Structure 1
Amino acid sequence: MSLVEEFPGVRVRAPGKINVFLAVGGRHDDGYHELATAFQAVSLFEDVYATHADDFTIAVSGSVDVSGVPQDESNLALKAARLLASETGYPGGVHLDIRKEVPVAGGMGGGSADAAAALVACDALWNTGLSSAQLQALGARLGADVPFSIMGGTAIGTGRGDALNPALARGRFEWVIVPNGVGMSTPRTYGELDEMRGDAVSADQVADPAVPIEVLQALRSGDARQLAEALHNDLQAPALRLRPDVREILEFGEAQGALAGLVSGSGPTIAFLVESRAEGTALEARLTMAGYEAIGVYGPVHGARIV
C-alpha cells in the first residue's frame, strides 16, 4: 500500500520561533507597532494534516494544553484555509487536524505556525500552485508571524514584523525552553509597553527600530556567547511587570548556567541560550528538579514544508 493510499491528504510541519532580538517602535493609527526583529525558527513543531472535505472543519490535539485553542471559525489555521480558497477560487473545503507541540499563547508563534502549515497544506492538497512568496503574502494578512513560519531559518523582520529578509546564521544554536501553564495576551503586553512609555506613543514619536549589527554578526559567527550578549526584547519588561512569576524563572535559569535568557515574543515562555547540547541537558535537569518544565530545542530549522 502506498503512502498516498494510507493517508489521502497532505501533512505539513511548521516551526515555532524565538525572537532573539525585538525592538518595538511607536504605535500606528491602526493599533500596530513598528517592529524590528530577528527571528529564529526552532525545533518545536506544529503538524497539520489536511484532507478533502465539503466544508471547513478542524480538530486540535497535541503534547501541550490545547484547551485554550479555538476550534471554530476564529482559529487562525481555519482562517488561512478559507483565505486561500477565496483567493484562488477553490470551490470545496478541507478538514484540518492540528497536532500542537508549541506552547499555546506562549510567545513562540504556535498559532502562526498552524496558519502557515494550513496554507502550505491546502495549496498542495488543492493544487492551487502558489509560490512561497505568494503564500507569505497571504500569511501576512492573517498575522505578522505567519510569513516567517513559512520561510523558516533565521530572518530579519521589519514593519509589523512581516517584511522579511533572510539572515545568515552559521552552525546550530542550542536553547532550553521553559513554557508556562498560563498564557499571556499579546495585545495586553503591548498595551503595558505603551503605558510604561507614556501610553499612546505614536509611530512618529519613537525612532524607527532596527536590528543592531551586533546581532547580525553574532548570528553569522555561530558563537553562542556572542549571541548571548546581543539578546534583547523590548516586550520583556512589560511581560515581567505583568507576570512576576516569569521573572523568577528567568533569574533562576540564568543563575543555573544559561548564557542568557529572555522572554520569547510577548511571553510568558522563557528561552535560555546555552553553549552546547550537554550544557542544555544539564540546565534542563536543574530546571526540572526545581519544578519547572524544560524542553531542549535548537535552531535554525526549516520553515513550513510537506512531510
Structure 2
Amino acid sequence: MHVRAPGKINVYLGVGALRGDGYHSLATVFQAVSLYEDVHASPSDGFSLEVSGEVDVSGVPLDDRNLALRAAKLLAAETGVRDGVHLDIRKGVPVAGGMGGGSADAAAALVACDALWGTGIGSRGLHELAARLGADVPFALHGGTAVGTGRGDVLTPALARGRFDWVLVLGGRGLSTPEMYRRLDGLRAHGDSLADDALELLEVPVAVLQALRSGSAEELAPVMMNDLEAAAVLDRADIELVLADGVRMGALTGIVSGSGPTTAFLCGGPEAAGALRDELRASGRDALHVHGPVPGARVVD
C-alpha cells in the first residue's frame, strides 16, 4: 500500500501554560500544504523501516523511536493483527523543521497498515490511535485546515475558502520541539517573551478564522502569529534575517513554522509566490513554493 500524507504550517500558534501531563495547552490553526511524505507498506514477518528522501534524513531513527514504526506496531497490537510490515518512507518534509514530517509519517503508516491488514478499525479508531502517538498526528490524518486545542490533538475543521500560496525557506539544522517550548517558558519567566497572550484566555482569534473563511491572503497576513517564534529566533539568529528578507522581497508576511526553523511566507497568489521563491533562491536560500489546504493521509492508487 502506498499512502501520501502532507506536512503542515501553523497559521496561528498560541501556547498556554505547561499542563500536568507535561504538554502545553495550545490554541492553533493547522493548514496542510503540498509538501508530502510517501509511505509504502508491504507484508513482512517482522517490523522494519527504510527511509530515503529529497531532504536530509540522516537524523531519522530507524528503531522504535520512529513514529511510523510505532504507529504500525500500535495498530497491530490494538487490532490483534499478528502480521508484520516493512515500511519504506520517502521524505519530502524537512526533518525537525516544524512542519510535522514525523507526524505525517505516523498518519500515513496508520492508513497504509489499516488498508494492508484490513483491520476495519474505522476513521474514529485511527484518530484515537493517532492522538496517542503525538499531538500533530491526528491533523496529518485529516488534513485541510483545522483548529487544534488541548495539546493540539482536539480538532475542529475550519472553513478555508480558495487556495493560499506559501513560500517555505528550509532552515538546515533542525530544532528540537521540546527545547523550543522550554525556551519559551524561560522567556516568559523572565518577562522577555514577545508573546503577549493572556494564557488563561487561550483561543484562536476570530479575525484569523474570518480571514480563512474569506479566502483572502491579505486579510490573513496581519493576524498570523506564532508564540514559539521568539524561542526559535533566540536559538537561530539567522531566522530573523530570513523573515526580514522574505517580506522585503514581496511576501505579505512571514512566520516561523511550528517550532522552526522552517519559515513560511504568505503570498498574494501563485505568481507572487513563484517570484518570491526565485528571488530567495537567487539569494542562496533553499526555497519552495507550496499551497494549501490539501487533504490528509490518503491511499495513492
Q: Is TM more than 0.5 here? A: yes
Per-residue deviation at 1:30? 2.2
1:1-307 equivalence runs, <5 A: 10-198=1-189, 206-307=199-300
- Provide TM-score, normalisation by structure 2: 0.96
Measure, in 1, the Cα distance between the counterparts of 2:28 and 2:141: 16
Q: Which amino acid aligns with 2:264?
A: A
Q: Which amino acid aligns with 2:234?
A: R
Structure 1 residue runs without a partner (length 5+): 1-9, 200-204
Measure, in 2, the Cα distance between the counterparts of 1:292 and 1:206: 35
The answer to whether the 8 A contact 2:15-2:199 is kept is: no
The answer to whether the 8 A contact 1:136-1:147 is kept is: yes
Measure, in 2, the Cα distance between the counterparts of 1:132 and 1:92: 21
The answer to whether the 8 A contact 2:35-2:92 is kept is: yes
Measure, in 2, the Cα distance between the counterparts of 1:14 and 1:73: 20
Q: Residue 190 of structure 1 aligns to a residue in which SS?
A: helix
Measure, in 2, the Cα distance between the counterparts of 1:225 and 1:131: 39
Per-residue deviation at 1:29? 2.1
Q: Which amino acid aligns with 2:222?
A: E
Q: Which amino acid aligns with 1:263?
A: V
The answer to whether the 8 A contact 1:132-1:150 is kept is: no
The answer to whether the 8 A contact 1:34-1:208 is kept is: no
Q: Which amino acid aligns with 1:302?
A: P
Deviation readout 1:15-73 (Å, 9 max, x if unpaired): 00000000000001222000010000000000000000010000000100100111112
Q: Which runs of 4+ in 1 moved over 4 A?
A: none
Aligned residues: 293
Deviation readout 1:190-229 (Å, 9 max, x if unpaired): 0000001117xxxxx9314100100000000000000101
Measure, in 2, the Cα distance between the counterparts of 1:117 and 1:130: 15
Measure, in 2, the Cα distance between the counterparts of 1:44 and 1:208: 33
Q: Residue 296 of structure 1 aligns to a residue in which SS?
A: strand
Percent identical residues: 62
Provide the alpha-carbon RMSD of the alignment.
Answer: 0.9
